[in-house]
Structure 1
Amino acid sequence: MNALKFYKENIEKSKAEIDKINKQSLAIGWSRLVIFVLLIFSIYKFYSMDNPTLMVSFGAFFIILFLVVVGFHNKFLQKKKKQEIMIQINEQGLRRLNGEFKNEEDKGEEYIDEKHPYTYDLDIFGDNSLFQLINTTVTKAGREALAKILSRNTISTAEEINKKQKAIDELGKKVKWRQKLILNGKLNINNTDEEVNELEYLKEWSKSEGKTVGYRKIIAYIFIAITFIAIVMSFIGTLKGSYILLLLMVNFIVIRSLTKDSRDVLHMFSLIKPTVKAYSEILALIEDENVDSEYLKEIKNKIKNVDNNISCKKEMKKLSSILDWVGDSNGNAYYLIINLFIFSDVFLVSNLESWKKKNGKYLDSWLEAMGEFDALSSVANLPFDFDEWNYPEVVSEKVVLGEEIGHPILGERAVRNTYRLEESTKVTLITGSNMSGKSTFLRTIGLNLVLSYLGAPVSAKNFKCGLFDLYTCMRTKDNLQESISSFYAEILRIKLLIEGAKEGKRIFFLLDEIFKGTNSEDRHTGAKVLINQLMDAGAIGLVSTHDLELCDLELRDNRIKNQNFREYYEDNKIKFDYKLREGRSKTQNAIHLMKLAGIDFKENN
């Protein structure tokens, strides 16, 4: 299925449906006006005729008819909202295809960690990041799960990655189902920081100690009975109406007393009611969907409880239905009045406690499964959108081999290269002039490794890699608050790399212009010693450098290989082809760039 065609066709379908709904909605709007006018006219007409029976009858009829039409109107508005969200979903798909995803508001900026082994250097989060390209999560659980797998908080085995590949490939083909998941989330969830607290509140509540509510229900039944007996007595004239008001005041005090330890719970649920509804519908989608891949089946098992035959779908729907009665317990006048007569708060607390007693121990697992499906569905955008990408082969050997590898974030602008690091070769030294593509190529390799470990396809014709702990040192800067210079910041990152190597980790490193903050002699010596130390510890990787003398290492050590990028000139203008070549760089452009900046190199200077 062609992604571009799919997104465009769906946008056109939704727009046509919205036009249809607008016409129907306009007709309903006029119907509401006509019914309202008839209501006023009938009341006036029969009142002037002094016929209260017909006045009340016709008045009731038109009010009921008006409410029915309002209900229909609201359904049409809900349908319109769904189509508007579908347009947003498909337009986001087009932005991914067109390379305009960097305009997405959610950049995952709170996950930026300059001390992480690779995420900061490889633009995993933040502006123009891999997170922006992939993320379509609609739940906080899904967003957190996506951030964790992008950061590799847990290291998967080659077998697990293979299972994830099959799962992501399967979800990639279920594009309509994935869009339903997004739709259900966007209809109800406000993706703000507040939802993080809502998710945590829900988890904490499910694990909290249960409250004894049996005696409270008995007290509530007694006062409800007293209240209705008093109302009947008032109607037949044996009790003054003022006593009813006094009784309702007593009811208010009793309700507050019986629910004093649950006020925060009721308030919290009045706020997160839409979120719970969305969770309920998403989990129902997951439970109802048939999946073939082993990994997806394992996740689905988290929402099943074979022992007690509990259906996550039914129980979450039940929780959502309970919450439908919560209302705005802090400000809704209708709710407060109803509460005084039927003690709804007491029964809500009772129902919530019963639900928690039965399902609380499973809720965490259900939400975890929902988050994993949400995250994997986001990753599954890649095989659907970029059908020219291919799944990598993850092996036990220490190799990185790729044919026509491209930078995933650059899209069609990426220049593709073939790269091989295998057998006895441990380190590739990449030289080249300024702006020739060295740093971009390092990120190209790094990002495709990250995608490989996600179980996602990579931007390459073929890609084969070993399982590594990825370490980078590419983008260091001063930290004035901690009195750290950029050079010292670089030293700290190198220290982490060396410590990882000493611990016996299978390390793949990407080092860009190392030790650039010191003099040329120290830089050359330090780089040479570091490279040898890393190779001796079993680490492999790429090092970009302007230090051409470092290329002499290839002559003395067959574990090191030189490759380069270069520039060329047309009409005295510098140009780059960004193609990786064998050997050391034989070109330089610093003087040319300085001249372009206006620096005048004269003989007497």
Structure 2
Amino acid sequence: MDISKKFYEDKIAENVKTSNILLKQINIISWSRLIILILMLLIDYLLYKNGEYTSLIVSSIMFISGFIGVVIYHSNKLEAKKRSDIIININKRGLDRLSGEFKKFKDNGSEYLDENNPFINDLNVFGQNSIFQFINSTVTKGGRERLVNILGLKEEVNKKSIVNKQFAIKELADKVEWRQKFILEGSMRKSSDRAIRELIGWGKKGNSIKFISVIISYTFIFVNFVSILLSLMNILPLSFILLVFMIDFIVIKMLTKNMIEDINLFNDIKNDVKEYSEILSLIENETFESEHLKELKDKLINNQVSSKIEMKKISNLLDWIGDSSYNAVYFVLNVLVFSDVFIMRKLDLWKNKNGKYLEKWLDVMNEFDALSSISNLAFDYKNWSYPIILDNSYICGEDIAHPLLGEKAIKNNFSIKNSEKVALITGSNMSGKSTFLRTLGSNLVLSYIGAPVCAKEFSCGIMKIYTCITTRDNLEENISSFYAEILRIKILIEACKKEEKVFFLLDEIFKGTNSKDRHTGAIVLIKQLIKYGGIGLVSTHDLELCDLEKEDDRIINYNFREFYKDNKINFDYKLRQGKSETQNAIHLMKLAGIELS
């Protein structure tokens, strides 16, 4: 049994057992709460009926204290069960990834599909049955955005950064228990819809509370307590206290009128901040060996200011923030001691000390979140390999397979190196040409993000990926699939002319035109791509293109074949050198019932 599969199954079994035990305890505690409440009412009634008022008060205090204790204990057990259930779900998702059932994961990143991107759509980076859907386990909004940028190769890719990420991902893969704690803490609380950028923006703003507001607040608090004292001494009537509180309410509204937006923000994101606090503590408390992870962790401590300590402080402060419109207890507290003013004052002091670090801390958390997702691949697939990053524009691999196809994937060897520039892939319909193009492209993307690839061995240079595999009509812009293909080819040519290191994957180019134009256009394009330094693969049904190999040793031929058994067409999806010698279109027509004679 695979190590990863056994780990997931053991964790599920362990936590299912724990969850069941906790459920029984929770049910017992629930009944205990009801029994305590009934006993309190019964005993208090008997004491009241017998006129034992002192005993009644003592009894009530004891029962209420016991009830509160049981409620707290019950809450702790509910949280413990929730933690076990989350761990169960985390490990079930792990098994789903291994079995290819990741396609049912709801978050597939389809909003990031982009027809104008040179490779994202063709290589299934986002959308249904995509790399994003396969690996994503991020639990923070910023981490998800970071993973999207990484997969989209939005940042400059270089050999040093790739190698550093490889070591980081290897290390995180081995820290599977730690990664699951990371996911657990990020899944415990319901996040708000307010963007993380709003919290960062608050950290860069000026102070909300002026010192004069603090002086005014202290003055009114003093008046409040003096008024209450005088009322208890029967010097002032109760109506005067109510008047004082009404004035307090008006004053608080005046003092905090410029803080309403911040107060609403804090009400919305307090759960997020608590989540960030727990996650940053996990990072800061962990020991890392890889250079990239150590550099990230070092950013969490600035001038002896610790992110875990300071984020815990702001989390505790935000716990005091309450919406006085819905929370009666907080309303009374706010009127009595001007809590909004003093909490915002403390938040200002926190911001003055830590606001400049906040964005950096959250960036570190997001990077760990994204890298942890990528590490799922390294832990789940121990037989995958980390690619060797070359200084030249070569690709060479042994037993290369598509990372999303699981056990169904067929492994092939392939190389394009030295003077070779273009590999022509021929073969009949459904023989595997398009899948192989995507196989190389997907593994290149994984290579550039520091992940292991689905191959026994894989070496590649750093190149910009351009694809033209699936083109569609765009009715809104009145663009046919053929013209869409032409536009993509134009972008590719322009990139080559700019002397970018280009790797292209072209599937059945110029398929929207007649065979003569298609043949002529393909020859001109291939020669032009070679001229401007591009390298890549071109799949085609045009067997005459294979003659280019005789004219130019920079062009090499590969093919896929089919075979027939019991009057049925079969494919082995194995890549072979040389041009295709078989075609299946006529046979497929006959199988469809089309009479050709």
TM (norm. structure 2) is: 0.98
User: What value does the CA root-mean-square deviation take over the aligned residues?
Assistant: 1.1
Q: Secondary structure at the match of 2:536?
A: strand
SS in 2 for 1:260: coil
Partner Cα distance (1:427, 1:299) in 2: 41
Instruction: Measure, in 2, the Cα distance between the counterparts of 1:40 and 1:252.
Output: 37
Instruction: Report the alpha carbon displacement of residue 198 of structure 1 after superposing the two structures with TM.
Output: 2.8
Which position in structure 1 is the counterpart of 2:409? 414
Q: Check conservation: 1:510, 1:541, Cα contact below 8 A.
A: yes
Any idea what the Cα deviations from partners look like across 1:531-589, whole Å, max 9, x if unmatched?
A: 11111111100000111111111111110001101111111111110000111111111
1:341 alignment counterpart: 336
Q: Does 1:139 find its partner at 2:140?
A: yes
Corresponding position: 1:284 with 2:285: no
Q: Secondary structure at the match of 2:298?
A: helix
Contact kept in structure 2, 1:14 and 1:87, CA below 8 Å: yes
Name the amino acid aligned to 2:93.
Q
Quote how far apart the aligned CAs of 1:212 are.
4.3
Deviation per CA, 1:205-238, whole angstroms, max 9, x where unpaired? 1112223421111111111110111111111100
Does the 8 Å CA contact 2:209/2:341 hold for their aligned counterparts?
Answer: no
Paired AA for residue 24 in structure 2: K
2:276 is aligned with 1:270: no
Paired with 1:113 and 1:425, the residues of 2 have a C-alpha distance of 31
Structure-to-structure mapping, 1:95-494, within 5 angstroms: 95-190=96-191, 195=193, 197-305=194-302, 308-494=303-489
Pairwise CA distance, 1:601? 1.5
Partner in structure 1 of residue 83 of structure 2: 82
Q: Give the distance between the partners of 1:309 and 1:414, measured in 2 at CA.
A: 52
Q: Distance in 2 between matches of 1:298 and 1:345?
A: 38
1:106-146 C-alpha deviation (Å, 9 max, x unpaired)? 00111111111111100000000000111000001111111
1:581 maps to 576
Residues 189 and 278, structure 1, Cα contact 8 Å, conserved in 2 = no
Structure 1's unaligned 5+ residue stretches are: none
Q: Which amino acid aligns with 1:242?
A: S
Q: In the TM superposition, what is the alpha-carbon distance from 1:189 to its structure 2 partner?
A: 4.0
After the TM superposition, which of the residue ranges 518-527 and 408-417 deviates more from structure 2? 518-527
Aligned partners of 2:208 and 2:259 also within 8 Å:
no
User: What CA distance in whole angstroms lies between the structure 1 residues aligned with 2:561 and 2:270?
Assistant: 59
Contact 2:557 2:577 in 1 (8 A): yes
Could you list the structure 1 runs, at least 4 aligned residues long, displaced by more than 3 angstroms after superposition. none
Q: CA deviation at 1:486?
A: 0.6
Q: Does the C-alpha gap of structure 1 residues 330 and 533 become closer, same or farther in structure 2, counting only changes over 3 Å? A: farther
| 1:48 paired to 2:43 | no
CA distance in 1, matches of 2:49, 2:237: 34
The one-letter code of the counterpart of 2:114 is D
Q: Secondary structure at the match of 1:125?
A: coil
Separation (CA, whole Å) in 1 of partners of 2:360 and 2:190: 20
CA distance in 2, matches of 1:146, 1:251: 49
Instruction: Please give the alpha-carbon distance, in whole angstroms, between the structure 2 residues aligned to 1:496 and 1:212.
Output: 54
Alpha-carbon contact 2:168-2:290 (below 8 Å) kept: yes
- Helix, strand or coil: the match of 2:40? helix
1:550 aligns with 545
Please tell me whether the aligned partners of residues 266 and 329 of structure 1 are also in contact (alpha carbons under 8 angstroms): no
Q: CA deviation at 1:271?
A: 1.1
Aligned counterparts of 1:311 and 1:131: Cα–Cα separation in 2: 33
Secondary structure of 1:380's counterpart equals helix
Secondary structure of the equivalent of 2:503? strand
1:129-166 Cα distance to aligned partner (Å, 9 max, x none): 00011100000111111111101111221122111111
Cα deviation digits, residues 64-95 of structure 1 (max 9, x gap): 11011000000000000000000010000000
Distance 1:329 1:124, change over 3 A: farther
2:535 maps to 1:534: no
Alignment of 1:507-518 (within 5 A): 507-518=502-513
SS of residue in 2 equivalent to 1:188: coil
| Alpha-carbon distance, 1:505 to partner | 0.6
Aligned match of 1:597 = 592
- Whole-Å separation in 1 of the counterparts to 2:45 and 2:174: 62
Q: Secondary structure at the match of 1:483?
A: coil
Report the residue type matching 2:312 in the other structure: K
Q: Which residue does the alignment assign to 2:24?
A: 23
3-state SS, counterpart of residue 575 of structure 1: strand
Deviations 1:299-348 (A, max 9, x none): 1222221xx31011101000100000012344212211211111111112
Residue type of the alignment partner of 2:319: D
Q: Larger deviation: 432-441 or 33-42?
A: 33-42
**Do the aligned residues in 2 keep the contact of 1:138 with 1:189 (CA within 8 Å)?**
no
SS of structure 2 residue aligned to 1:541: strand
CA distance in 1, matches of 2:5, 2:492: 42
Q: 1:161-186: CA deviations, max 9, x gaps? A: 11111110000000000000000000
C-alpha contact (below 8 Å) 1:139/1:189 kept by paired residues? no
**C-alpha distance in structure 2 between counterparts of 1:107 and 1:418, whole Å:** 30
**Sequence identity percentage:** 53
CA displacement at 1:30 relative to structure 2: 2.2
Match of 1:505 in 2: 500
1:343 maps to a residue whose letter is: F
Deviations 1:379-402 (A, max 9, x none): 011111000001110010211000
Question: What is the alpha-carbon distance in structure 1 between the residues aligned to residue 322 and residue 358 of structure 2?
Answer: 23
The alignment status of 1:561 with 2:532, answered yes or no, reads no
Write the distance in 1 (CA, Å) between the matches of 2:248 and 2:553: 88
Matched, 1:33 2:30: no
CA distance in 2, matches of 1:32, 1:184: 29
DSSP 3-state at the match of 1:110: helix
Letter in 2 for 1:86: I
Structure 2 counterpart of 1:68, which letter?
G
**In the TM superposition, what is the alpha-carbon distance from 1:598 to its structure 2 partner?**
2.8
Match of residue 521, structure 1, among 516, 520, 523: 516
**Distance in 1 between residues matched to 2:46 and 2:119, nearest whole Å:** 79
For the 8 Å contact 1:566–1:576, the answer to whether it is kept is yes
CA distance in 2, matches of 1:369, 1:471: 31
Q: Is contact 2:495-2:502 (8 Å) kept?
A: yes
| 1:34-78 superposed Cα distances (whole Å, 9 cap, x missing partner) | 211110011101011011111111011101110110000000000
Distance 2:515 2:300 in 1: 60
Query: Is the 1:267–1:329 contact (alpha carbons within 8 Å) kept by the matching residues of 2?
Result: no
Structure 2 unaligned spans of 5+: none
